[in-house]
Amino acid sequence: MTATYSQPAVYFFGQGRADGTAAMKDVLGGKGAGLAEMTNLGIPVPPGFTISSTLCHTYLETKEFPPWLRVQVETSLQRLEAATGRHFGGAKDPLLVSVRSGAALSMPGMMDTILNLGLNDTTVKGLEAQSKNPHFAYDSYRRFVQMYGSVVFDLPKPPFERLLEERRQARGVPREIDLPAEDLRALVRDFKTHIQRERGRPFPEDPMEQLWGAIAAVFESWNTRRAIDYRRLHNIPDAMGTAVNVMTMVFGNLGEDSGTGVAFSRDPSTGAKVLYGEFLLNAQGEDVVSGTRDVEPIQRLKEIMPQVHQELERMARTLERHFRDVQDMEFTIERGKLYMLQCRRGQRTGHAAVRTAVEMVGEELISEEEAVARIPPNDLNQLLHPTIDSKAHLDLLTTGLPASPGAASGAVVFDADVAEQQGRKGEAVILVRRETSPEDFHGMVKARAILTARGGMTSHAAVVARGMGKPCVAGAQAIEVNESAKRFAVNGRQIKAGEWITVDGATGRVYAGQAALVSPVLSENFTRLMGWADRLRQLRVRVNADTPADAHRGRDFGAEGIGLCRTEHMFFEGDRLTAMREMILAQDADGRKRALAKLLPIQRSDFEAIFRAMEGYPVCIRLLDPPLHEFVPKEAKEIKELASALGQPVAKVKRVVDGLQEANPMLGLRGCRLGIVYPEITEMQARAIFEAACTVVARKGRVTPEVMVPLTATVVEFRRQAAVIRQVAEEVFRERQLTVPYLVGTMIELPRAALTADDLAREAQFFSFGTNDLTQTTWGLSRDDAGRFLPFYLDQGLLEDDPFQVLDQTGVGKLIQMGCELGRKARQDLKIGICGEHGGEPQAVMFCDRLGMNYVSCSPYRVPIARLAAAQAALAKRGTMDRTRATV
Ligand code: ADP
Ligand code: MG
Ligand code: MG
C-alpha cells in the first residue's frame, strides 16, 4: 500500500476540533482515532496531529519521507505553534511534543513513546526560565535523551538506568525524582556521551531532526522481531501499519500539583461502577507502569485534588456514554489542570464483562442484544470455575496445554489409588501422571486437578477432566514424571509426592506451592444475560453427560437434553469393571450373555437416573464404542489379580488380553463393529435403555430416548444394529405393556458416513457429528500421537490451530456440510447435532448454526458458553454483531 500525494497524510486535532473521528481507526490507529474523537467531544486533549498509518509502508519500503509529507508535517507544526502560542525549537518559549505509535488494533508494548521532544541545550533554558523550575526542565531533558537514545538510537536500556542509579546512590536520595537539577544536567551529558560512544554519531540538537528521527523510529518499530511475533500470535495483518501521533506535551512533573495516571471508568476486575486506577504526583507517563515508584490508588486523588477527581469522573462518564462501553484512560494533571491523553475500550475479566454489560442495559446505555453480542463466550469460563486470586504471588514451574479450565491447589500424588484414598479423606490432592488411562478414573474423580506430561487436548485426561469440570493441564512436556520414585522433575527442580502445587487449567500454567483461589458464584447478572441469550438463539444446547451427576450439572447450566451419553464410562468403576472383563474374557455368546446379565441392572439404573435428571428432554445414548482392550489390564500383576478374581488360569487370561491388542486400535474393532460381531452387547444395552424408559414412564415421568450407533461406515451396518435395537424395544414394550417414543440414529464420524449421508438418512432418524473421530479420520491423524509433531507444526506456522481444539471448518467442515445437506435431502426432518469437544467452541457453534443444525452438545461447564455463542450466531445472521462491537 503506497500513499500518494492526493491523500491527506496528516490529521490535526486541537482547540475543540479534529480532522479525524473514531470511525477512522484504519487510518489514524486506535490512539489517534480516540484523540480525535475526544477533541470533538470537547474533552481537554493537548493539541497535536496524527500521521496516517498508510505512510508506514511507504516509509518502510523506501526509507525516505516523500517531500509532500514533509510539507504537511511542517504545516501541522505551525498550526500547533499557533494553537499553543509556543515555538518548536524556540529559545524562549519552546514547544515540546511527544511522539507516539498506534495501530488500528492495540499492540501493547510494541514500542516506547518519546516524551519532551524539542529539547536541546538552548531550549532547555527557555523551559527553565518559563517554568521558573530548573529541576523540572532538566528532569524533562534527561528523560528525553534517555528515551531517544533507546528508541531512536536503538541502544539497550540498562546502561542508561545504571548511570541514573549511580547518580542516585552518590547523592543518597530515595528516588530519581529527588535528584537535584545539577545532577540531572550532568546525566544529560552522560547520556549524550554514551550515545556518541556507542553509535559514533552525536545526539541531534536540531528539533526538526529529532522529530523526523522519532517518526522514522515509530514506523521502523512496526517491523521489530517482537512486533512481528505479536502480530502472528494475534492474527494482525502485517499490511496494517502503525500511525504516528505527535502531540503537545503537558507536564505531570511540574511539582506536587501535577501528576499522571491511568483510570478505568469501571473496575476492570469486578465491573463495579466506580472510577478505578492509579496515579503518581510529580511524574511523567512511564513512571506509572515502570514500577520505579509506588503508585497511589485513584481514591487518594479524591482527597488530594477533589476537583480534579470530580472532573476525571465526569470525563469518564462522558466517554462511556459516548462510546457506550467501559473506558481505559490515560491522563496528566499539569498544575491542577486535567488533560486526557488516551482512551480505549477497557479490557476486563469475565466477571466484569457480564456485570457491566447487564448494568449498562439497566442504564439504557446499550440494548440486550448488544450486551449479548459484547461478551466473548470463552470469558464465561472465569465465572464457572475457581480462578487464582489475581493478587497471589506465584512461582511458575512450567506451562502445558489448558486442557480443562479452573484452578486448584493440592498435594502431588502419582498413583490413582493413593489419590482415591487421600481424596476420600477430604485431602486436596493433584494427580500427576505421565498420561492417564481409564484405570486411573477412580483417582481422577477424587483428585482436585490432573496434570499430565503427555497427551493433547483430547487425551484421556483432558476429556475426562472436562466432563467432570475438573482443572487439567495436559501435555506439560517439560515435566519428567518418575512414578516409581514418586517425584517429577521440571526445569531442574524436583517436586516430590506430598509437596503442594497449583494448577490453572484455563492457562495451562503450573505453579509450585498453594495459591489463593477465588470460587465461582453464578450471579443474578449472569442469569439475566443468559436469559437474553436464550431468547435470541435458535440452536439448542445439550450436554455431554455420562452420569446422573453430570446430567444434573448440565441442567443447572441450562442444557436442553443430553447430546452424548457415553456408556463405556459406566463400566470403569469397581464391580462393573470386573463384570465387563468377565464378558470380554468369555469363550462364547452364552458366557458373554451371563456376564452381560450382571451388567444389565447396573446400566438400567444409570439410565433411569439420567432420564429422570433430564425431565423429558431428549437423551442420546451411544452404544459401546471403545476397543475392548481398554477395559483389560496390561500389567502382569493386575492380570494375575484378574485371573484369580475370575477363577481362571493366568495364562489363559494373558492370552485373551494379548489377543485384543491391535496395531491401530482407533481404526480397529470398535464402534458399531463391536455390536455387529457381538450383537448380545447391543441387545443388553438396548434392553437397559428401554426398560429404564418404561420404568420412568410407568411412574408418570417423561423420557425421550435416542439410541445412537457409533462409528458407522455403511448403511448395511446401521440397518443391522437398528434392527436389533428396534426388536428389543418391541420386546420390552410388550413385556411392560406400554410404548415409549424413541429414535434410532447414527454418529457421523467417518468420512465415508458423511459421503454417503443420504443412504444413512433413509434409515437413521438422526445424525450426530462426532467431530473428534471425524477430525482424526479426515486428517489421518491420531489424536493420541499428534503431540509428537503438532506443536512443531503450530510453532512453524504450518497449522494455525490444533484441529482437535478448533474445528477445521475448511476440511472437516466440508464433510459436515455435505453430511447435513445429503442427510436432509433424504429425510427432511432429520435431527442433526454435533457432539465432541468442538460442540462448545464458539466458532464451531456459529458454524453449526449456519448449517442449520438442531443442536450442539458439549461438556457441562461449556453449556453456558455454547448458549451465548448460539445467541451470537443468531445475531450474526441478522447482521447485528458487528454494529454492536465497540468502536474504539
Ligand atoms: P503506550 O501506547 O505504550 O501506552 P503512549 O503513547 O500512550 O504509550 O504513552 C505513554 C505515556 O506517555 C502516556 O500514558 C502518557 O502518560 C505519556 N504521554 C504521552 N504523550 C504525552 C503528552 N503529550 N504529554 C504528557 N504525557 C504524555
Ligand atoms: Mg498509552
Ligand atoms: Mg467417536
Per-residue model confidence (pLDDT) at position 385? 83
Q: Residues lining ligand 3 (ion), CB within 5 A?
A: 749, 770, 773
Per-residue model confidence (pLDDT) at position 888? 37
Taking the CA of residue 111 as reference, the ligand 1 atom at the shortest distance is 3
Residue pair 119/131 in contact by the 8 Å Cβ criterion: no
Q: Which of 13, 114, 115, 117 to mutate to test the pocket of ligand 1 (most atoms within 8 A of CB)?
A: 115
- CB of 745 sitting under 6 A from ligand 1: no
Distance (Å) from CA 101 to ligand 2 centroid = 9
Q: Can you list the alpha helix ranges (DSSP code H) found in 437-494?
A: 441-446, 460-468
CB atoms within 10 A of CB 175: 13
- Residue 460 annotated as catalytic: yes
Q: Please report the DSSP string for 408-450 in residue order.
A: EEEEEE--HHHHHHHHHTT--EEEEESS--GGGHHHHHHSSEE
Per-residue model confidence (pLDDT) at position 881? 66
Query: To which residue does cell 518519546 refer?
Result: 114
- If DSSP codes are grouped into helix, strand and coil, which group holds residue 796? coil
Q: And the C-alpha cell for 262?
A: 491511568
Backbone angles phi, psi at 695, to 5 degrees: -60, -45
| The one catalytic residue among 87, 442, 460, 569 | 460
**Distance in angstroms (rounded) separating the CA atoms of residues 621 and 684:** 13
**Distance in angstroms (rounded) separating the CA atoms of residues 378 and 693:** 36
| The one catalytic residue among 672, 835, 848, 858 | 835
- CB of 117 sitting under 6 A from ligand 1: no
Which ligand number lies closest to the CA of residue 14?
1
Nearest CA to ligand 1 atom 24: 249
pTM, two decimals, is 0.82
Residue pair 320/356 in contact by the 8 Å Cβ criterion: no
Among residues 33, 882, 23, 843, the alpha carbon closest in space to that of 374 is found at 882
Taking the CA of residue 102 as reference, the ligand 1 atom at the shortest distance is 2
**Distance in angstroms (rounded) separating the CA atoms of residues 487 and 495:** 6
- In order of 292, 494, 791, the CA distances from 486 in angstroms are 43, 10, 28
**Distance in angstroms (rounded) separating the CA atoms of residues 766 and 748:** 10
Which ligand number lies closest to the CA of residue 333?
1
Backbone angles phi, psi at 443, to 5 degrees: -75, -35
CB atoms within 10 A of CB 739: 15
Backbone angles phi, psi at 258, to 5 degrees: -130, 165
**Distance in angstroms (rounded) separating the CA atoms of residues 446 and 463:** 16
Q: And the C-alpha cell for 794?
A: 503450530
- CB of 330 sitting under 6 A from ligand 1: yes
**Distance in angstroms (rounded) separating the CA atoms of residues 474 and 432:** 10
Query: To which residue does cell 427432511 refer?
Result: 828
- Determine how β-strand 114-117 pairs with β-strand 97-103: antiparallel
Distance (Å) from CA 567 to ligand 3 centroid = 12
- Residue 835 annotated as catalytic: yes
Element (H, E) at 857: strand 855-858
- For the chain, the distance separating the N- and C-terminal CA atoms, rounded to the nearest angstrom, is 24
> Could you tell me the mean pLDDT of each successive run of 10 residues in the chain, 888 residues long?
64 95 95 97 98 94 94 96 97 97 81 91 97 96 96 94 95 92 97 98 98 96 84 83 97 95 90 92 82 80 96 97 96 98 89 94 96 92 83 90 89 94 89 87 90 81 78 92 93 94 93 88 91 97 92 93 92 83 90 94 95 96 93 88 88 90 91 96 97 97 97 98 98 97 98 98 98 95 82 85 91 98 97 90 95 95 95 89 45
Residue pair 72/212 in contact by the 8 Å Cβ criterion: no
Which ligand number lies closest to the CA of residue 247?
1
Residue 147 burial (CB < 10 Å; 0-12/13-18/19+)? buried
- CB of 332 sitting under 6 A from ligand 1: yes
Distance (Å) from CA 367 to ligand 3 centroid = 41
- CB of 341 sitting under 6 A from ligand 1: yes
Which ligand number lies closest to the CA of residue 627?
3
Element (H, E) at 385: none
Q: Which of 51, 100, 111, 333 to mutate to test the pocket of ligand 1 (most atoms within 8 A of CB)?
A: 100
Residue 257 burial (CB < 10 Å; 0-12/13-18/19+)? middle
- CB of 46 sitting under 6 A from ligand 1: yes
CA atoms within 13 A on the CB side of 783: 22
Residue pair 309/302 in contact by the 8 Å Cβ criterion: yes
Residue pair 383/452 in contact by the 8 Å Cβ criterion: no
